[in-house]
């Protein structure tokens, strides 16, 4: 479904499920590590009925301690029914069957759109906040995010160094992704975007060697990485790149998806750019 349709669908769900009074907040749950962090920041604590099985994983969540008070679920419709959730935040992929089953029991699954920039993040945040009866808190969170982005922008200095972004396995991100938006906001030029890459892509080591790169940006290498992803991390060219160039490690939990907390990744990127490159031209 096109991104514009996702947003319209999300907003439609929001207003359809907005409670009449603040005293009747709908019970909510999440089957997504992105949804976990959104609910833990936006929802009333007693409003949350369950979080995803990833909610206690420190590599992908900001609030493992807060998550410990809730049941952790896989997202099956039967679990949601038993827990009494009325609205469930889920990944935009793989939620179709669960949504269909949940709908039979009056449970609405809200797939989380994969936001490409901070305007989409703001719109999605407010839509979710309206849906769960916390519009005021959602608008305040968006205002905080925008203030923090503005503070980073106000302190921005030249130059804009070129960075290659890698996840385990060589995965990267180009134009139209929240990673690219965050790198730009933090004062970096993203190699993938400079090469004309769109969306979720990869940067192989040959391409890396053939282009000017000032730094390496990595995330998620602290996870239990196996298979081909582990081979990439052990490749001598990758290891040499980390020794030859400054490496900026952005904690994966700060940008597991395009959400309000992606501003934390921007702040990390901006601080590291300033520390490493200052005002050099």
Catalogue all structural domains in the chain, each as residue range(s) with its CATH number.
3-134 (3.40.50.1980), 162-277 (3.40.50.1980)
CA angle centred on 233, ends 231 and 237, rounded to 5°: 95
Q: What are phi and psi of 52, to 5 degrees?
A: -70, 165
Q: Determine the 3-state secondary structure of 125 from DSSP.
A: helix
How far is the C-alpha of 9 from the C-alpha of 130, rounded, in Å? Answer: 13
Which segments of the chain are extended strands (E)? 28-30, 48-52, 72-73, 87-91, 108-112, 162-166, 171-173, 189-190, 200-202, 215-218, 247-249
How far is the C-alpha of 121 from the C-alpha of 154, rounded, in Å? Answer: 21
pTM: 0.86
Q: Determine the 3-state secondary structure of 83 from DSSP.
A: helix
What are 54-105's pLDDT values in tens digits? 998 888 889 999 999 999 988 677 787 788 889 999 887 655 556 667 777 7
What are 169-226's pLDDT values in tens digits? 899 999 999 999 999 999 999 999 999 999 999 999 999 999 999 999 999 988 776 7
State CA 41 to chain mean position distance. Answer: 14
């Amino acid at each position: 479904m096109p991104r514009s349709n996702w947003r319209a669908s999300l907003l439609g769900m929001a207003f359809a499920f907005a409670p009449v009074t603040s005293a009747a907040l709908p019970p909510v749950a999440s089957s997504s590590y992105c949804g976990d962090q959104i609910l833990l920041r936006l929802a009333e604590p007693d409003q949350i009925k369950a979080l995803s099985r990833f909610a206690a994983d420190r590599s992908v969540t900001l609030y493992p301690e807060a998550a410990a008070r809730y049941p952790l679920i896989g997202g099956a419709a039967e679990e949601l029914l038993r827990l009494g959730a009325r609205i469930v935040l889920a990944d935009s992929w793989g939620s179709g069957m669960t949504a269909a089953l949940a709908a039979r029991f009056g449970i609405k699954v809200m797939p989380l759109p994969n936001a490409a920039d901070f305007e989409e993040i703001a719109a999605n945040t407010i839509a979710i906040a309206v849906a769960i009866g916390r519009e005021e808190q959602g608008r305040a969170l968006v205002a905080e995010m925008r203030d923090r982005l503005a503070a980073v922008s106000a302190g921005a200095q030249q130059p804009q160094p070129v960075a290659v972004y890698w996840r385990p396995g060589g995965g990267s991100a180009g134009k139209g992704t929240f990673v690219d938006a965050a790198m730009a906001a933090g004062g970096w030029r993203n190699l993938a975007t400079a090469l004309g890459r769109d969306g979720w892509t990869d940067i192989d080591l040959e391409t890396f060697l053939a282009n000017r790169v000032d730094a390496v940006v990595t995330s998620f290498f602290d996870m239990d990485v196996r298979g081909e992803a582990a081979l990439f991390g052990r490749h001598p060219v990758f290891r040499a790149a980390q020794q030859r160039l400054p490496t900026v490690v952005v904690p994966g939990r700060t940008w597991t998806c395009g959400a309000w907390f992606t501003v934390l990744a921007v702040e990390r990127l901006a601080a590291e750019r300033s520390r490493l490159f200052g005002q050099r031209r």
